[in-house]
Amino acid sequence: MKVILRQDVKDLGKKGELVSVSDGYGKNYLIPRKLAVIADAAAMNELKTREAAQQHRLKVERETAMHNAEILRDKTVKVTANAGANGKLFGSVTSKEIAAKIKETYGVELDRKKITVEDIRAFGTYPFTVKIYAGIQITMYVMVGE
């Protein structure tokens, strides 16, 4: 019997997969507990539609990420900070501040967790990396000044 899983089932498969199981296991366990549905024509059509929609969504996300990467690659973001007489900052410049400036300057919203920046505690220009999408990583620069 072929069934389409509605939820992840240990040792069987993940949600949305088409799997082959014994008739008893399917009829007496999976289907009554709403863990799976019988793979009839309607269910197969729905599965194919769902997979096509997911592929399209992933394609659009990747294209958007590549577009954002081209916009941001090798750009500089200017951040202002307060410092003492010797040029040493009170605190440091964080990825949260950098993400806010990127959104303000270039209109691209990034998750601060995707920004890898060294500890910045003085004025100057520093490189940092941004992981925009799986396999898409760019280098940008932050200019810290008053």
Question: Per-residue pLDDT tens for 3-21?
Answer: 999 999 999 999 989 999 9
Which pTM was predicted? 0.70
Fold (CATH) for 2-66: Ribosomal Protein L9; domain 1 (3.40.5)
Q: Which CATH architecture has domain 74-145?
A: Roll (3.10)
The b/e string for 118-137 (b: 16+ C-beta within 10 A; e otherwise) is eebbeeeebebebbbbeeee
Which residues have a Cβ under 8 Å from the Cβ of 60 and sit 6 or more positions away? none
The CA distance from 93 to 142, in Å, is: 9
Q: Provide CATH 3.10.430.100 ranges for the chain.
A: 74-145
DSSP state of 9: B
Give residue-wise pLDDT tens across range 53-96.
999 999 999 999 999 999 999 999 999 888 888 878 888 888 99
